[in-house]
Copies of this chain bind each other. A is one copy, B any other.
């Protein structure tokens, strides 16, 4: 129940599918999005896949009166595609690029070219410090044989890590975006459990939209039904999550989605459905700021769940590490072959004896040069690929290291064993510290 002090906050999130010259009706759809946003009067708008600067500028111009504050996050080759529009002044912005994000040679998928990331903006809402996050994770192209699963798991891990570490001073946290994960997927569970963020769809009593909250539906004319298989009706991969604090309690009053069409138009806003959440902010009484403490059982349950989730995540990352090692090895082997052939050609060209031997069965000169050039190209490509997969490998290993550390800490907490207060002034040796979970 809203009190006289309570505030309302309307949040909008949409993956705009703004790939100019590729996405259908891109310019018209941005006009429709601009119209909707300036009319509907949302407080905070979180957009993904706004790739073109022209579209960003168009939206900034259109929304200059209703949403005077905005930030467009730049990253990768073509940008991060992330943008925030707000009625409230944006005081600070911070971007964290995910350490892995697909492969540049998978041009048909193209995720690598958009530097996928999580963007944060800080704003004051009614005297409360709000940290607003917008993100977009790597797409899933084939659920049965998902080559990008380790990358997406690492992105989800880094997303929760970033939110946990940067939201400490926040009174309220909102995260919106296209996670490219189903609600029960590992990354989603990890994100919710570790950050304590609550999903608007499961939290609200008043939902109006597609069946099961789907945001990618067969009814959308831009969607190819084949893409959705085996989920013919649709999938839920776009989310708005929220979390209050001791200073403010948050509730989701209602959530709605568009339903594959736009009134009075032949096509919808995007290939994704838009989410609109109506949040209620109830500032807590300063006298009773403590809130209800979490029971020991609840806490243990949450810790155990987190340990399981991190362990599951590590398994996926290890698969990724193995694949990256294989790919790096393959690049090294190809490069080695290219180099060997190139050296052989150089030897034939330079060493008199070899040249004479070659002259007995003359090697066509054109083919000789062509083969040499081909070897050089092969070597060049192999070097670039080797560098890329080495970076991928290091990033995956880094995520695995951080997960191992987190799992050890959680297990320690779960065991109820506490780190002895190191009263030891300098010189005292903390031999009583548990070294079993040390990192080596």
Interface of A toward B, CB cutoff 8 Å: 7-10, 41, 43, 57, 60-61, 64, 66, 68-79, 87-97, 99, 104, 115, 120, 124-127, 161, 165-166, 168-169, 278, 365-366, 368-370, 372-374, 376-377, 380-381, 384, 387, 390-391, 394-395, 397-398, 401-402, 405-406, 409, 412, 419, 421-423, 425-427, 429-430, 433-435, 438-440
Bound CA span A440–B61, Å: 8
Bound CA span A61–B68, Å: 57
Task: Enumerate chain B residues within 8 angstroms of A125, measured Cβ to Cβ.
Answer: 422
The contact of A377 among B72, B115, B376, by CB within 8 Å, is B376
On whether A439 and B7 interact (CB within 8 A), knowing A93-B405, A380-B381, A422-B125, the answer reads no
Bound CA span A76–B390, Å: 8
Task: Enumerate chain B residues within 8 angstroms of A169, measured Cβ to Cβ.
Answer: 168-169
On whether A73 and B398 interact (CB within 8 A), knowing A88-B422, A89-B433, A435-B68, the answer reads yes
Contacting pair B405 A75 (CB below 8 A) = no
Contacting pair B439 A409 (CB below 8 A) = no
Contacting pair A92 B373 (CB below 8 A) = no
The contact of A70 among B377, B387, B440, by CB within 8 Å, is B440
Bound CA span A126–B422, Å: 5
Task: Enumerate chain B residues within 8 angstroms of A9, measured Cβ to Cβ.
Answer: 426
Q: Give 6 CB contacts A-B under 8 Å.
A: A10-B426, A92-B406, A97-B97, A365-B366, A377-B377, A384-B384
Bound CA span A374–B168, Å: 55
Task: Enumerate chain B residues within 8 angstroms of A434, measured Cβ to Cβ.
Answer: 89
Bound CA span A387–B114, Å: 11
Copies of this chain in the oligomer: 2
Task: Enumerate chain B residues within 8 angstroms of A66, measured Cβ to Cβ.
Answer: 429
Contacting pair B398 A95 (CB below 8 A) = yes
The contact of A69 among B115, B425, B426, B439, by CB within 8 Å, is B439
Give the secondary structure class of A's interface.
mixed
Contacting pair A77 B373 (CB below 8 A) = no
Task: Enumerate chain B residues within 8 angstroms of A368, measured Cβ to Cβ.
Answer: 366
Contacting pair A74 B380 (CB below 8 A) = no
Contacting pair B433 A115 (CB below 8 A) = no
Q: A79-B394, A380-B380 are in contact. List 18 more A-B contacts (CB 8 A).
A: A9-B426, A57-B440, A68-B433, A68-B438, A70-B439, A72-B439, A74-B394, A88-B430, A89-B433, A92-B409, A97-B97, A120-B165, A124-B422, A127-B421, A166-B166, A278-B426, A376-B377, A380-B381
**Nearest CB on B from A11, distance (A):** 11
Contacting pair B401 A77 (CB below 8 A) = no
**Nearest CB on B from A434, distance (A):** 8
Contacting pair B74 A409 (CB below 8 A) = no
Residue of B nearest to A435 (CB): B68
Task: Enumerate chain B residues within 8 angstroms of A60, measured Cβ to Cβ.
Answer: 439-440
Contacting pair B419 A89 (CB below 8 A) = yes
Residue of B nearest to A389 (CB): B77
Task: Enumerate chain B residues within 8 angstroms of A68, measured Cβ to Cβ.
Answer: 433, 435, 438
Bound CA span A169–B405, Å: 20
